Amino acid sequence: MDIPIRIGLTGTPVGNHLMDIWGELFMVGGKEAWAPGAETFTNFKQMFFHNPDRKGWTWLPFPDSQERIQKRIKPFAFTLPEVPGGTPLVKVLEHPVELPAKVRAQQKELRKAMRTELAGGIDLRVMSASAVANKLLQFESGAVFLEKQPGEVRARWEKVHDAKMEELDEILDEQQGEPVLLFYHYTHEMVRLLERYPQARTLPDMAGRQLESLDEWNQGRCELLLVHPQSAGFGLNLQSGGSTIVWYTLPWSVELYEQATARLARQGQRAPYVTSHVLLAGGADRMVLSALRNKGQVQSDVMNSLEV
């Protein structure tokens, strides 16, 4: 069925990579929108990106690719300028977390030998460099997943420290009962957080102590709401319930990061700004934050280039 007029709405057009724009514009304008030369995704990649490792895993834009892409999409896309007093500013506070010496030693051994020994003699091994990066993030979160054994449905995990929990204790103490929206990344984080904080709640589609409804949060009756950005990062209006966010562990996706923050930083937020507390327990956490900021700048440049 031919649809004569197609309109797409998004607050994060770049998503996680500049390549994401091809599919969005194709849905709105069809292959004609990318003509000439980039009518297919393969041609688009070859026209605006290069593959330095020659293996197809890493695609980087040419120096002028962003500017050329912005010119291509300009006739088909626009963004309205920000309404004064509309969306509140986001104040990001970084919280350095000191890891125990034993955990730092385990991380060092994992990076060097791709294995380390956990408490109780558990042997933790990884099989690739990318797996090491993910495992280091888990170490900094406070627990690590173990290798699945035959017949196991869910992966087991082992706690390695409480350093982030202790930093979170201080943040919650300073809140004096004011609502906090906390984003976690790994399922073992949710389990540990629910065990430590009896006042914590989760959304109805998650396990644990659930909210009766979103009204409980929006009426300010929920002191600590635990959510995953993939399940609560889009579509929910939570700005009436509070203005404080905590990122326990950051996601790699700038789309998830910005959309999740926008649950509170949106029109209707009564506070003058939204405070986003980011827990940083080591180099892996900081690496993710740096990547998000770089990706976010690309997205901001694209959005600004489309202002009417």
Taking the C-alpha atoms of residue 51 and residue 100, their distance in angstroms, rounded to an integer, is 40
Say which range, 33-42, 256-265, 270-279, has the weakest mean pLDDT.
33-42
pLDDT of 250 reads 96
Mean pLDDT throughout 231-235?
Answer: 72
Query: For 11-20, 46-55, 184-193, which range has the lowest pLDDT when averaged over its residues?
Result: 11-20
Residue 276 near residue 90, CB atoms below 8 Å: yes
**pLDDT above 90 as % of the chain:** 40
Please compute the mean of the pLDDT values over residues 144-161 and round it to a whole number: 83
Which one is predicted more confidently, 137 or 113?
Answer: 137
The pLDDT value given to residue 126? 86
Q: What pLDDT is recorded for position 96? A: 96
- The reported pTM is 0.77
- Say what percent of the chain tops pLDDT 70: 87
**Domains parsed from the chain with CATH numbers:** 20-79 (no CATH), 89-97+162-292 (3.40.50.300), 101-159 (no CATH)
Question: Cis peptide leading into 61, omega within 30 of 0?
Answer: no
Which pLDDT belongs to residue 83?
58
With a cut of 50, say whether residue 1 has pLDDT above it: no
**b/e map 158-176, b = 16+ CB within 10 Å:** eebbebbbebbeebbeebe
- With b for 16 or more beta-carbon neighbours within 10 A and e for fewer, the 293-304 pattern comes to eebbeebeebbe
Q: What pairs with residue 158 in β-bridges? A: 144
pLDDT at 260: 93
